[in-house]
Amino acid sequence: MGWLGLDDTDTLAGGCTTLVFHQLLENLPSNVSIRETRLVRLWPFAKKRTRGNAAMAAELVLLNDESNVITDLKQLESATKSLLEHLDNWWTEHIAPLEGAVEQSTHNDRPQVPTEPGMVWFNDQPDETFYRMAVAENVVLSQAPAADKSWGSHGIIGATAATSWAAQSHTWEAIAWRDDCSSTVRDICERTLSVIDSWQGTFMSRDSRKGRSLIAPRGNCPVLFGVRARDKKTANNAAKKLLESEATQPSSGMRIFMTNQASDDHLNELFSGKVISTKILSRGHVILQIESSAAEVIEGEEVSAEQSTWMAFAQSGDVKNLAQWLQTGDLIKGKGLLADDGALHLEKLKLIEASERNKRRPPCEKCGRTVKSQGKNNKLRCPACKNLQENIWIYNPQNPPHRGWVQPPSDHRRHLARPLKWDQ
């Protein structure tokens, strides 16, 4: 048994690490059995990445002439040596030539970098510590545990992280690749997709608000679609149903991957605090200045003293709407990723307690008219019946747009984000 990982082979112009890995697996020696294939999403803010943030891994088992798993150590050593020789040749002929590819784009905020493919082999699955680092923060190559055999350079980071994922929380994705990549247009049967989207086990298949697919990329990559599900059987059935439809274009192959999508693995910390100030930018983005005080207890949790910046982007839907409603003094909780500048990019937001809003003077205790102020520290006076009463304000809290946790709509949600409805 051993673990094979691969990453960093695609660009905006085309190519796809999922297809490169699929082709590698399809051409393994006949005595190699594939026990499990994985697609692992990693830290979205990584600067030195190509098109996506997904890395590939597979657990492989070596078989003897009777197709049984090899247990004899000498036989295992010999079979492993033979496999590594095969991987050496495949790397040289099919993967190493992909290095250096790059495609710039004026529509992409992140500068593109040349591909630096990396592949790793571990005789035993590495500890999950490195995956936990790579999914939640920036890591460098020197931090990756040494593989028993490695090829390439920077892609080793993602390849190692994918092999070290323990899959405690997982979903599935069935990916199909297209024969003809000459066009960015993909023909997928919309009627069949609507049926699949209604299945209990699928998720993030279709945006019901805009009536469009969420399973197909819009660029030049070879992926025809990737349909996601909470179990392997549903992913397989959904992909087959789509491929069997006459309205779906031909596919060159399909494979099901276990994934960390919808796991929230990237969100390690729950942030809490009090709103100091809010700023709504021209496009609708919201900048929140937050203060946490050690003297405060929010929902039973003591919060350490600090100040920070939280950001809700215009595309985040309900998160943005709630953030725009907030004002000084509101107590909130948030989940998200810390960007390089230290700002928390919100993926989930919750109002804990609203500060007092819309204050007004009380009605007269005798006639019901609204009383008026007679100056600071003086009693209030009714303009109608002249009655005097205590100098107080009445606060009518404005209803927030949402109660409980909110997150972005499905078409602007990270692959890693777990749908809120799964925890309700």
Average pLDDT score over residue span 302-308: 67
Mean pLDDT of 115-119: 92
Mean pLDDT of 110-136: 90
Q: Is there a domain that residue 156 lies in?
A: yes
What confidence score (pLDDT) does residue 49 get? 61
pLDDT at 111: 62
Residue 329 lies in a domain: yes
Give the per-residue pLDDT at 223.
Answer: 92
* 178 and 156 in a common domain: no
Instruction: Give the CA angle between residues 84, 16, 407 to the nearest 5°.
Output: 120
Give the DSSP H/E element, type plus range, for residue 190: helix 190-197
Side chain identity at residue 128, one-letter code: E
Do 240 and 105 fall within a single domain? no
b/e for 354-377, b at 16 or more Cβ within 10 A?
beeeeeeeeebeeeeeebeeeeee
Verify that 102 and 119 share a domain, yes or no.
yes
Same domain, 19 and 133: yes
340 exposed, middle or buried (CB, 10 Å; 0-12, 13-18, 19+)? Answer: exposed
Lowest mean pLDDT among 139-148, 178-187, 406-415: 178-187
The answer to whether residues 290 and 275 belong to one domain is yes
In this structure, are residues 297 and 271 in contact, taking their beta carbons and an 8 Å threshold? no
Coil, strand or helix: which one is 125? coil
CA–chain centroid gap for 168, Å, is 16
Strands 344-353 and 306-312: parallel
Same domain membership, residue 402 and residue 292: yes
Any domain includes 265: no
Asked if residue 106 has pLDDT above 60, the reply is: no
Q: What is the pLDDT of residues 7-41, one digit of tens each?
A: 998 866 667 899 999 999 999 999 999 999 999 99
Examine the domain organization and report whether 290 and 391 are in the same domain: no
DSSP secondary structure letters along 14-82: B--HHHHHHHHHHTS-TTEEEEEEEEEE--TT-SS--S--EEEEEEEEEB-TTSPBP--HHHHHHHHHH
Q: Is the pLDDT score of 286 beyond 90?
A: yes
* Boundary residue ending a domain (232, 259, 286): 259
User: What CATH number has the domain bearing residue 207?
Assistant: 3.90.600
The last residue of one of the domains, among 259, 285, 320, is: 259
64 residue type, one letter: N
Q: Give the number of domains in the chain.
A: 4
**pLDDT beyond 70 at 299:** no
Whether residues 69 and 132 fall in one domain: yes
Q: What is the pLDDT of residues 183-218, one digit of tens each?
A: 888 889 899 999 999 999 999 998 877 777 899 887
Looking at residue 418, the DSSP 8-state letter turns out to be P
Any idea what DSSP says for residue 329?
A: T
Structure tokens, 178? 């297209």
Give the tens place of pLDDT for each residue, 232-256: 999 999 999 999 999 999 999 999 9
Is residue 25 within 8 A of residue 37, CB to CB? The reply is yes
Q: Read off the pLDDT of residues 353-402 as tens digits, 9 standing for 90 and up.
A: 998 877 788 888 888 888 999 988 899 999 999 999 999 887 766 789 99
161 backbone dihedrals φ, ψ, rounded to 5°:
-60, -40
**pLDDT: is 47 or 422 the higher one?**
422
Query: 66 and 15, same structural domain?
Result: yes
Whether the pLDDT of residue 305 is over 80: the answer is no
CA distance 333 to 351: 7
Contacts of 357 by beta carbon, 8 Å cutoff, 6+ apart: 327, 395, 396, 397, 398
Residue range(s) defining the domain that contains residue 416: 271-356+398-423
The answer to whether residues 148 and 197 belong to one domain is no
φ, ψ of residue 278 in degrees (nearest 5): -130, 145
Is the pLDDT at 295 greater than 50, yes or no?
no
- 379 and 350 within one domain: no
For residues 14 and 79, membership in a common domain is answered with yes
Q: Across residues 119-134, what is the average pLDDT?
A: 97
Question: What does the alpha-carbon distance between residue 399 and residue 60 come to, in Å, rounded to a whole number?
Answer: 56
> How confident is the model over 64-86, as a mean pLDDT?
94
Across residues 226-233, what is the average pLDDT?
A: 97
Percent of the chain with pLDDT over 90: 67
Is residue 266 within 8 A of residue 337, CB to CB? The reply is yes
Please, what is the average pLDDT of the chain? 89
Q: Which of 20, 6, 7, 28 is nearest to 223 (CA)?
A: 20
pLDDT of the residue at 294: 44
- Backbone torsions φ then ψ of 339, nearest 5 degrees: -80, 175
